[in-house]
Structure 1
Amino acid sequence: MTPIRHNHADQDAVLDAARDCVLAVGVRRTTLTDVARRAGVSRMTLYRRWPDVRSLVGDLMTREWISVAVATMPAVVAGTPTRTRLVDGLVAGVGAFRAHPLFHKILDVDPELLLPYVLDRRGASQEALLGLITAALAEGHADGSVRKEHTDLQARALLLVVQSFTLSLRTMTDEADPRLTDAAFLEELRTLLERILTP
């Protein structure tokens, strides 16, 4: 029998279909049959790669969250300290995560899906984010713009801070008070990060 080959384009088509299903009906009401139909593949093709909807949505979240993180990290500009780039990227990342339609849908309809990654273990997207932050911290240590500390400790502490702002910010805002809007809290996050990272 010829082995099934899964190329990147096929996987992206399935993940795109899964995203559309979740945005339409939420995770609990999405089935692999729905995703297969929308992606134009057989159910068995999906079952060979993903045993259930949760594992498929896990891969979808990893793809989407890493894409957001990479897109919001500013490009390297000569003469700009790494700390500035890192802080700008983290603040922009929190804003982009909070505006992401998939994140909104999961937070509103299936928040329990996020709990294991907050309370019990790190997921693939968190590991990837730690990798991005760690690399930026190492650059900041080298150019002197970031306070020197154990890099893994710093990266994990930063992720805890931005993760808290991402997941819990709406519990603290008050759009009727201009001092307590999303934008005001993101500026406060910028101040916190600058103070944490400045040598």
Structure 2
Amino acid sequence: MTSLRHKPDTARDGYLDAARECILDVGWRRTTLTEVARRAGVSRMTIYRTWPDMPTLLGDLMTREWAGVVTAEVAAGADADPVGRIVSGIVGTTAALRRNELFVRIVELDPELILPYLFSRRGRSQDLILGLTAEAVEQGQRAGAIRRGNPVAIARALLLAVHGFVLSVHTMVDDRVTAEELDAELATLITRTLQP
């Protein structure tokens, strides 16, 4: 079985773009590999040779989509101090995911697709986030800007804390509290968690 993580190419990106369009139009449950092939302008067998089923294709699509969000947000805070870089990356990624049209569509129509990543296992995107965060924590520790502790455990604790800000922040927003205020609280939470 071929996977996005092994052989990225422009044709594959085109197929993933077609799958993304399908999911945005009709949702995950109504998207088929046949429809992805039709939208991509290729035969069904071309898609089937690349992905044996929709869950495999969705895994690659989500990895590409979320990795793009994370990479952009991490780059945006690259000039900050060690703690500021992590805060900027996490808070920016959290807000960007909540605005991402594919993420929003999945949460609205097919939220069960996200449950395995909350209750059963980590996904490739989560591992990417954890790796980047642990590396940034370790660098900050070496510079004396971040408290001591296992960088991997710190990264995982931060990711666990952030899940609610990504998935549930809308339940806490009303006429008394805005999403921006909650994001500011998240920034404070991360900053105080990391400071020596």
- TM-score when scaled to structure 1? 0.91
For residues 158 and 29 of structure 2, the distance between their equivalents in structure 1, rounded to whole angstroms, comes to: 32
Identity rate, percent: 49
Give the match for residue 67 of structure 2.
66
Q: Could you report, residue by residue, the CA deviation over 1:6-39 in whole angstroms, capped at 9, with x for unpaired residues?
A: 6511110011110000000000010111101111
For residues 11 and 139 of structure 2, the distance between their equivalents in structure 1, rounded to whole angstroms, comes to: 36
Give the match for residue 57 of structure 1.
58
Q: Could you report, residue by residue, the CA deviation over 1:40-60 in whole angstroms, capped at 9, with x for unpaired residues?
A: 121111112212112111110
Cα distance change of structure 1 residues 82 and 7 upon mapping to structure 2, 3 Å threshold: closer
* Contact 2:77 2:89 survives alignment (8 Å): no
By how many angstroms is 1:76 displaced?
A: 3.2
Matches within 5 A, 1:1-199: 8-73=9-74, 74-77=76-79, 80-174=80-174, 176-177=175-176, 180-199=177-196
* Contact 1:81 1:143 survives alignment (8 Å): no
SS where residue 58 of structure 2 aligns?
helix
Unaligned runs of 5+ in 1: 1-5
By how many angstroms is 1:139 displaced?
A: 1.1
Give the match for residue 4 of structure 2.
none
For residues 139 and 10 of structure 2, the distance between their equivalents in structure 1, rounded to whole angstroms, comes to: 33
Q: Could you report, residue by residue, the CA deviation over 1:64-122 in whole angstroms, capped at 9, with x for unpaired residues?
A: 00110010113533xx4211111011111100000000010000000000000000100
SS where residue 28 of structure 1 aligns?
coil
For residues 134 and 44 of structure 2, the distance between their equivalents in structure 1, rounded to whole angstroms, comes to: 39
* Contact 1:76 1:85 survives alignment (8 Å): yes
SS where residue 21 of structure 2 aligns?
helix
Q: Which amino acid aligns with 1:147?
A: R
- TM-score when scaled to structure 2? 0.93
Unaligned runs of 5+ in 2: 1-6
For residues 183 and 121 of structure 1, the distance between their equivalents in structure 2, rounded to whole angstroms, comes to: 30
For residues 7 and 104 of structure 1, the distance between their equivalents in structure 2, rounded to whole angstroms, comes to: 25
Q: Which amino acid aligns with 2:140?
A: G
**Count of matched residue pairs:** 189
* Contact 2:87 2:191 survives alignment (8 Å): yes
* Contact 2:77 2:84 survives alignment (8 Å): no
For residues 147 and 70 of structure 1, the distance between their equivalents in structure 2, rounded to whole angstroms, comes to: 25
Q: Which amino acid aligns with 1:37?
A: R
* Contact 1:83 1:140 survives alignment (8 Å): yes
Cα distance change of structure 1 residues 103 and 7 upon mapping to structure 2, 3 Å threshold: closer
SS where residue 27 of structure 1 aligns?
coil
For residues 134 and 7 of structure 1, the distance between their equivalents in structure 2, rounded to whole angstroms, comes to: 26
Q: Which amino acid aligns with 1:89?
A: G
For residues 43 and 70 of structure 2, the distance between their equivalents in structure 1, rounded to whole angstroms, comes to: 32
